[in-house]
Structure 1
Amino acid sequence: MEPQPTTTPTPDNGKNVAIIAYITLIGWIIALVMHNNNKTDLGAFHLRQMLGLMLLGLALSVLNMLLDIYFLGVIIQLGMLVLWILGLVSAVQGEKKPIPLLGEQFQQWFAGIG
């Protein structure tokens, strides 16, 4: 009987958490739970970025509802989509690259995550 080859688990550098964080609110919650089991700088960085994006999107949506301007809503949605894509691409590449405009502030404001 031959011995079974042992597989050593590869260390998780947080890339999975970073990517999952960008997949809806439920994905963010799952990524937060995963991060709490294996804390990494990359995972924490992208959890903070996505939390900031979600809260920014919520605030801008409320503002748009109050102003009730259709064209403003379209611009907000396109802008949020671009920021989300930039964050997701950074996560997929395993980089800690803040999103434009408020990414650095998100890191400061949500420093408790991580």
Structure 2
Amino acid sequence: MYDREARFRMEDTMNAARIEYTEKAVMNMAARRCDVIKISQSEAVLALLTQYNLPQQFYLDIPDARITKIGCMLMKVHPNNTIQVRFLRLLTQKDMDRIFVFSTHPAHRDRKLDIRSW
């Protein structure tokens, strides 16, 4: 399925995020902090603080940009505590702009948010 999708260009960013998933079949929800270091409309690269076992599917929240419950699928785990994920739905350009406005990456320093589009 993913090999037939159009690829979007990954852009560098630095946003705080949270991964939420269920542990032990549906007993409780676990939440872990991470950083979004690269993002496109269909995928992202997340930097984790430490290594831990993640399920194949989980939710991603980006609280600064007020984006919640992005469904994600784990694609690749890298040895330097980063993971590559694919989104279960494409992010809109409005969501991408909101992520870049709240990014602390130097490339997005002069981004402004159009409040009429909210």
Q: TM-score range by the shorter chain?
A: under 0.3
Report which structure shows greater RCO (CA 8 Å, sep ≥6): 1
Instruction: Flag the structure with higher strand content.
Output: 2
Task: Specify the structure having the higher radius of gyration (Cα).
Answer: 1
TM-score (norm 1): 0.23
TM-score (norm 2): 0.23
